Structure 1
Amino acid sequence: MHEIRLKRVYESPSPDDGVRVLVDRLWPRGVRKADLPHDAWAKEITPSAELRTLYHRGEMPFAGFREGYVEELQGSEGAAAFAAKCKEWLQTENVTLLFAAKNQQENHALVLAAWLRRKIAAL
């Protein structure tokens, strides 16, 4: 099986990216749609506006954000369907989750990738 990878939208695509999925709710600033090679845009699996707002305002630590986002993913039929689709893609190629966040150590794409790895292993 192939692997789930993470890449900022501002990085150049590479041949081993496989399926490239934008996992941000909003289109990345400064990037024209024609300039971002991607195969899917999974807006439906992004954190809720409430969680994003609390975290970005500094009213919630990353640990709390991560916990809240995982709860949202666990209760989402859309996230379960996305995990199943990722499992299909991973049979033949890598899946690269594209995100725009500057902070590469604490962001929703990291939480999503970890959740997907656990979910796919359990499918």
Structure 2
Amino acid sequence: MLINRSEVRNMLKLKRVQLGADKGDGFRILVDRLWPRGETKEKAAIDLWEKEVAPTSGLRKWFGHEPEKFPAFQKRYRAELDRNPAVEPFLARLEKELAKGGVTLVYAAKDSVHSNAVVLKEYLEERLKEGGAR
């Protein structure tokens, strides 16, 4: 299914889990490998936890949320996503959810600019523009 990129940008959002859920979020997908510290399942209101598309533990620990490492982190994480067999099924599921309405990628990082969720969102938008799951 080919999706218009500007359409996807409006339908695919990012949000910190700590901000809580609201109706405008649509389908909420947690995209972190670890469950957010201090968050209950009820409060987080996650519809899907897609930890398999999060950065590996080794990459996550190497990055350590250090902004100066972010450009290298982006390259390494994208390379992981390109090799990750969980990406194709996730992309297919994402396409189905986007066809129903908005989707919010939920993450726990305090830095909303230098996080895996930012990289993942850009990656997914590019893949959806190209035609989605292969």
Classify the TM-score, shorter chain: over 0.9
CA deviation profile, 1:83-122 (whole Å, cap 9, x unmatched): 1211111112111000000011100000000000011111
Provide the C-alpha distance between the structure 1 equivalents of 2:27 and 2:21, rounded to a whole number of angstroms.
11
Alpha-carbon distance, 1:57 to partner = 7.4
Q: Which moved more, 1:80-89 or 1:92-101?
A: 80-89
Q: Does 1:14 align with 2:22?
A: yes
- Which of 59, 63, 68 is matched with 1:55 structurally? 63
Alpha-carbon distance, 1:35 to partner = 2.0
Aligned equivalent of 1:117: 125
Instruction: Give the AA of the match of 1:95.
Output: V
Q: Does 1:70 align with 2:65?
A: no
SS of match in other structure, 1:98: strand
How many pairs does the alignment contain?
122
Q: Does 1:80 align with 2:88?
A: yes
CA 1:57–1:21 in structure 2 vs 1: closer, same or farther (change >3 Å)?
closer
Provide the C-alpha distance between the structure 2 equivalents of 1:38 and 1:30, rounded to a whole number of angstroms.
14
RMSD of Structure 2 on Structure 1 (CA): 1.5
Deviant stretches of 4+, over 2 Å: none
Q: Does 1:41 align with 2:55?
A: no
SS of match in other structure, 2:100: coil
Q: Which runs of 5+ in 1 are unaligned?
A: none
Higher share in helix: 2
Q: Which runs of 5+ in 2 are unaligned?
A: 1-6
Instruction: Give the AA of the match of 2:84.
Output: S
CA deviation profile, 1:27-73 (whole Å, cap 9, x unmatched): 11111223211110001000011111111075x71111000000111
CA 1:57–1:18 in structure 2 vs 1: closer, same or farther (change >3 Å)?
closer
